[in-house]
Amino acid sequence: MTRRTALAPLLALACAVLPPPAAHARIPQPPEPLFHVAGKTISEASGLAVSADGKRHYTVPDAGRPAEVYVVDRTGKTRAVLALPAAELNEDWEDIAVTRAADGTGRLHIADTGDAFAVRTAAGLPERTSYRLLRVAEPRASASGRVDLGQERVEVFPLVYADGAPHNSEALLVHPVTGRVFLVEKAEKEGRRAGLWSAPATLRAGADNVLRQALPDLGILGVSGAAFSPDGDRVVVRDATTAYLWWVKGGDVARSLRARPVEIDLPLQRQGEGVAFTPDGRALLVNSEGVGQPVWRVPLPADAVAAEPEPSERGPAPSAAPPAGGDGPMFAVAGLAGAAAAGVLALVVVRGRRRALSRLRAGGAAGR
């Protein structure tokens, strides 16, 4: 049998039995529902944050709804509702974050940073150009029922963009150590930019805090949520189907987000909204709009949990000698064939998910 003829069965065997590439070997356990949100109180969830012990989950409603923060336990029951003093404080809430001081006391940060397009259009109002960040104390673990917050318990920080233009930002980042605030725009159409904007290091109540562009475009359409990891070493940004994770190098968030992110497939959701890290930093939690929707736990792959060494630390990759007998090309081609087959399979799966999502969106649009 000639060497060329021998390649055919070898290639077929390689496609059938060779393992997928190393990147796929790092895929963790599949996502699983942590709980389903019970009752009908929460129908328009925007954003997601979690307590330090992982027992309480915080979310907020969208534009035109009450100025309330919902506290959901691990069974999906709404244990407490934090009611802010005026409904006008929620023009278009989009995300929520939690930070904690050295003594363990926590603060909830609420991003009133959406464009409130539907509400403003219906009321004949111009496009929105002023926004705000709200800050309240994280409730105690024992909090239950309705908790009315007086005006003195709510800090309001007005926000304006440096260009004075209207923007729609649905993703809030608050660094857990420095407290620095960032917003990510929701670019919903091709040609629009998902810019990263940075607030001043110290926010002032009663005066405009100017947001300045830190990065022109993340290149992601439809950003709906973002979060820092518990110790601030990673950033995650999500859209409808994917989470994008970056390692923060040298404390420079904007520069770090210029690198290529780790991409994590998210479960199919009705309308994916928020994202948060689990307290141990080893998984993501994601939620969705709609009544009775699940909060999913998405385990992170290895390269999103343990940082890879810097290029200077890696050293040269070892070279493998070809097998004796001059059959190196045959084994190399077989290996490539197996990798190609695995890649095609992955592509089919991803495309199938995207088509399913498109059909789901189309069906939802037809029903509205």
Q: pLDDT tens digits, the chain, 368 residues: what are they? A: 444 444 444 434 444 444 444 333 355 689 999 999 999 999 999 999 999 999 999 999 999 899 999 999 999 999 999 999 999 999 999 999 999 988 889 999 999 999 999 999 999 999 999 999 999 999 999 999 999 999 999 999 999 999 999 999 999 999 999 999 999 999 887 778 999 999 999 999 989 999 999 999 999 999 999 999 999 999 999 999 999 999 999 999 999 999 999 999 999 999 999 999 999 999 999 999 999 999 999 999 999 998 755 543 333 344 344 444 444 443 333 343 444 344 433 433 344 444 444 433 334 433 43
Instruction: Give residue 323's pLDDT.
Output: 40
Instruction: Determine the distance from the C-alpha atom of residue 349 to the mean position of all C-alpha atoms in its chain, rounded to a whole number.
Output: 22
Sequence-ordered list of residues with C-beta below 8 angstroms from that of 188, at least 6 positions apart, any chain:
168, 221, 222
Instruction: Give residue 317's pLDDT.
Output: 41
Q: Which residues of 94-110 are buried (b: 16+ CB within 10 A; e: fewer)?
A: bbbbbbeeeeeebbbbb
Distance CA 138, CA 239 (A): 27
Instruction: Give residue 315's pLDDT.
Output: 36
Q: 32-304 — its CATH code?
A: 2.120.10.30
- Count the Cβ atoms, other than its own, within 10 Å of residue 190: 6
Instruction: Give residue 210's pLDDT.
Output: 98
- Hey, where are the domains in the chain? 32-304
Confirm whether pTM is higher than 0.85: no
DSSP, collapsed to helix, strand or coil, labels residue 284 as strand
Contact between 61 and 44 under an 8 Å Cβ cutoff? The reply is: yes
Instruction: Give residue 309's pLDDT.
Output: 54
